């Protein structure tokens, strides 16, 4: 039987704690068999911790079942969030060692929320070793909104870390899956420096990582001084080849030239239907510095398929997850066909100024239809929006799984599309 309010409540929230009041060095659950709690079926949050500059802080939440039954095979939802941290610092949710992680799922809103008010934001929270949305034996226990939501100017919070030794019993990442919306949502103009790395993110209803909680953020200016994780763009694959048993990747990024970044690569059993890869299996990380053309060239040991990637800057801002594999990028309003369908490159045979291969929407669809793999078609038409693609013939139907994402075109704003496909000449 759950409580009529929160399952566990510590503190009153930002600005509501009396000066001199503090909560220090608390633990909710311990990392040993039988030492955790079942925190489920409550009307509000499973765990609510609210604070300001006086506390609470140094709280550890480990080895609990939050929103699930005792066997982690079914949901007993909390009405709001599994865990809500409201203006707190620092707190550890889970941990890399055995029995330190929590099972969090089935909650009415999000699995974990980091929030606050004004200067009382949440920072220095570590989220490691948890299973969020996934129960025992891969049971579906997804949350109704995002698995992890970071908003209200929260910063310096860590969601997972790359595993330095996959063969030991430490797991610093999280499993984040089966959520109704995104895996991790980062929201707010001053919500930044939140690294999201080393996690197993898959089978969520929205993006694996969503900056702004508004879908793919390729159209945002990455040089703005504000925005969730500074709107850091994901890299875009330009080529993936298997050479002598290794995977050779070329990619580009719209980012600061000569700035250091870390690129994390993931493999997926299949590409997400949205076209933007989630990141089911962390593969490989490498520090890079983009050249003057914002290009990178990396060799990943072994043969891998359905790749996706993120980038994290020097300050801990992590991007969304990239497209799954090499996308086709429409860069013209011309309606010419692909000059050689099946060669793996969507192109009309013409060159744009600067030597770039011209890719029409028709060419992209024709090339996508030559493979059974999921494909993504993006838009990067030069010039000022709006754009009109006047068809000379009916477009071929898509016969392969593909996502056509015109929101990627520069100039797009929510509810105001800037690319029009015009069939006025088709009768």
Quick: pLDDT tens for 112-154.
999 988 778 899 999 999 999 999 988 999 999 888 999 989 9
- In order of 303, 331, 390, the CA distances from 193 in angstroms are 32, 33, 43
β-strands 419-422, 158-159: how paired? unpaired
Q: What would the mean pLDDT of 175-191 be, rounded to a whole number?
A: 95
Would you place residue 20 in the very low, low, confident or very high pLDDT band (cuts 50, 70, 90)? very low
- DSSP character for 54? T
In which element (H, E) is residue 157 found? none
Q: Which residue shows structure tokens 């503190």?
A: 11
E strands of 133-259, at which residues? 148-150, 158-159, 175-177, 184-186, 200-202, 209-211, 236-243, 246-252
- Please tell me the distance from the alpha carbon of residue 383 to that of residue 27, in angstroms, as a whole number: 57
Q: Domain boundaries in the chain? A: 1-198, 235-326, 327-427
**136 three-state secondary structure:** helix
Record the tokens describing residue 292, joined without a space: 């003057």
> Does domain 235-326 bear CATH number 1.20.1260.10?
no
Residue 219 pLDDT grade (very low, low, confident, very high; cuts 50, 70, 90): low
211 has which bridge partners? 186
Q: What is the mean pLDDT of residues 382-396?
A: 94
Residue that wins the pLDDT comparison between 58 and 142: 142
Chain-wide mean pLDDT for the chain?
89
Query: At residue 200, does pLDDT exceed 90?
Result: yes
Greater pLDDT, 58 or 333: 333
What are the Cα distances from residue 283, in Å, to 40, 152, 263, 273, 395? 35, 32, 11, 21, 38
Answer yes or no: is pLDDT of 159 > 90.
yes
pLDDT per residue over 271-283, tens digit each?
Answer: 887 788 799 999 9
Q: What percent of the chain has pLDDT over 90?
A: 61
Q: What is the pTM of this model?
A: 0.86
């Amino acid at each position: 039987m759950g409580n009529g309010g929160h399952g566990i409540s510590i503190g009153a929230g930002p600005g509501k704690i009396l000066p001199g009041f503090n909560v220090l060095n608390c633990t909710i659950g311990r990392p040993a068999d039988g030492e955790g709690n079942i925190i489920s079926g409550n009307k509000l949050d499973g765990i609510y911790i609210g604070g300001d500059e006086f506390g609470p802080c140094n709280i550890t939440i480990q080895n609990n079942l939050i929103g699930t039954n005792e066997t982690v095979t079914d949901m007993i939802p909390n009405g709001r969030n599994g865990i809500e941290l409201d203006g707190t610092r620092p707190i550890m949710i889970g941990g890399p060692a055995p029995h330190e992680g929590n099972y969090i799922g089935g909650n009415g809103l999000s699995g974990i929320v980091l929030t606050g008010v004004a200067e009382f934001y949440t920072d220095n929270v570590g989220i490691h070793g948890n299973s969020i949305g996934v129960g025992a034996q891969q049971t579906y226990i997804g949350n109704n909104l995002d698995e992890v939501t970071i908003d209200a100017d929260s910063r310096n919070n860590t969601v997972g870390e790359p595993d330095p030794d996959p063969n030991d019993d430490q797991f610093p990442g999280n499993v984040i899956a089966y959520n109704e919306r995104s895996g991790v949502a980062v929201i707010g103009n001053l919500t930044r420096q939140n690294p999201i790395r080393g996690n197993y993110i898959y089978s969520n209803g929205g993006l694996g990582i969503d900056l702004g909680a508004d879908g793919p953020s390729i159209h945002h200016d990455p040089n703005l001084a504000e925005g969730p994780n500074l709107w850091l763009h994901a890299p875009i694959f330009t080529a993936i080849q298997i050479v002598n048993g290794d995977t050779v990747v070329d990619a580009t990024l719209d980012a600061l030239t000569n700035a250091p970044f870390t690129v994390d690569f993931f493999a997926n059993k299949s590409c997400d239907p949205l076209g933007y890869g989630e990141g089911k299996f962390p593969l490989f990380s490498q520090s890079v510095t983009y050249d003057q053309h914002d290009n990178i060239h990396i060799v990943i040991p072994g043969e891998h398929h359905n790749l996706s990637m993120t980038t994290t800057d020097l300050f801990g801002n992590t991007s969304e997850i990239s497209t799954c594999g090499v996308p086709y990028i429409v860069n013209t309003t011309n309606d010419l066909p692909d000059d050689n369908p099946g060669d793996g490159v969507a192109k009309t045979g013409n060159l744009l100024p600067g030597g770039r291969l011209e890719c029409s929407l028709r060419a992209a669809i024709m090339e996508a239809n030559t493979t059974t793999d999921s494909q993504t078609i993006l838009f990067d038409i030069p010039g000022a929006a709006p754009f009109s693609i006047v068809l000379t013939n009916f477009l071929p139907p898509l016969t392969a799984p593909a996502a056509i994402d015109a929101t990627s075109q520069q100039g797009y704003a929510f509810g105001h599309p800037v690319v029009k496909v015009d069939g006025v000449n088709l009768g």
